[in-house]
Amino acid sequence: MPATPNAALLQRTKGILARLVSFDTVSENPNLPLAKWVAGYLAEHGIESTMLPAEDGIHANLFATIGSGDGGGIGLSGHMDVVPVTGQPWETDPFQVVERDGRLYGRGTCDMKGFVACVLAQVPEIKAREAHLKTPVHIVLSYDEEVGCTGVKPMIATFGKSLPKPRLVVVGEPTNMTVVNAHKGGSRFLTEVTGKDAHSSKPQLGVGAIRIAGELIAELGRIEDRLKATHTDPRFDPPYASITVSAIEGGIAHNIIPPKCTFRWGVRTLPGMDANAIAGELQAYAERELLPAMRAVSPECNIETKVVGVLPPFSSGDRSEATTLALKLAGQNETFAVPYGTEASHFEASGSSTVVIGPGSIDQAHQPNEFVEIAELEKCLDFLGKVAAWAET
């Protein structure tokens, strides 16, 4: 069992978490006030930070370094945005932390302001070690992870240039403090169907875009069935690439053959899979089975699929430097793979050895009455204390 953090450190963590949650950083809202608060907190402890503002002027990344040792350093990475609460049946104010039965309730307590609070709570202890650090410790906070890792990508682009590039990165997404070294990718697409309008009493003169969209959605189901049968990895749950249609829009009136229909869909790919190849399968089906008959009615008919967002799969391997270190510090000997995505794939692709480990359960993320167990925060504080001690060696 890990050593229980001292009461003052845990209380500090709770206070910081309450402050972080009080900022409504739903992705569409500004996160700049929270980022400025973090910068001020770090400044109080003698730590300079760099703000990397977005072009919209209301979002920003934040990067700070403690220590000046060689070796690139270790990054402690978290995102500052949260998902919406609209329409969810919350029993408490989602932007006010409530402690009950060993849990802290509030939006982002699990995903993933709990980890960020643990990192910030450890700042005084890490700062006290600064003169002895052989490996610098970087605090890496991003905006808009929940809407496609929008913030972390331009920040990573500055690594090795205006910002130091961490050799190792710990992404603190909720894993119940188990070591995760692989996750699925998440790619999102928009398919647009252009048909031909006509009076509904003369369907032979038109091409119903909604019906064609239905054929395409059915084909996505068949593609998923083929993937289930041919491409699986038992480390994941589910062990296959999953395809989800999340929204559809089309139609004008009940007596008009609909000329337009769009639908949004996504695929959770296993490591080694190419989501664009799946989109290519859908397009090949469209060109083979649907477009010839559609264009026989109207040459203007078309089917087009556009990429909306891509999160590559993540797999760092059991022997990567980050995985090996995380297993050692967490006192574990087993790694896990998860079906959800994180910023780890972007850090790993940039050349930083990356691992995912953080407090809380993904089952609570994005849910009404989201919470993190206080015991999970204690485990995280213990782990981060060991990270700081390792940075001295």
Over residues 361-378, the pLDDT tens digits come to 999 999 999 999 999 999
pLDDT at 10: 97
Distance CA 240, CA 112 (A): 26
Residue 68, pLDDT score? 86
Q: Does the structure show a pLDDT above 50 at 2?
A: no
pLDDT given for residue 318 in this prediction: 86
pTM tops 0.85, yes or no: yes
pLDDT at residue 317, as a whole number? 86
Do residues 314 and 345 lie in contact, with contact meaning Cβ atoms separated by under 8 Å?
Answer: yes
Residue 273 Rama label (left phi>0; alpha psi -120 to 50; beta): beta
Sequence ranges of the chain with CATH classification 3.30.70.360:
185-311
What residue spans in the chain does CATH classification 3.40.630.10 cover?
7-183+313-391
Largest CA distance in the chain: 82
Q: Give the class (CATH, top level) of 185-311.
A: alpha beta
Q: pLDDT tens for residues 136-163?
A: 999 999 999 999 899 999 999 999 999 9
Q: What is the CATH number of domain 7-183+313-391?
A: 3.40.630.10
CA distance 366 to 362: 8
Query: Are the C-beta atoms of residues 179 and 336 closer than 8 Å to each other?
Result: yes
Task: Report CA dihedral (386, 44, 106, 378) to the nearest 10 degrees.
Answer: 20
The per-residue pLDDT for range 56-112, each reduced to its tens digit, is: 999 999 999 999 866 699 999 999 999 999 999 999 999 999 999 999 999 999 999
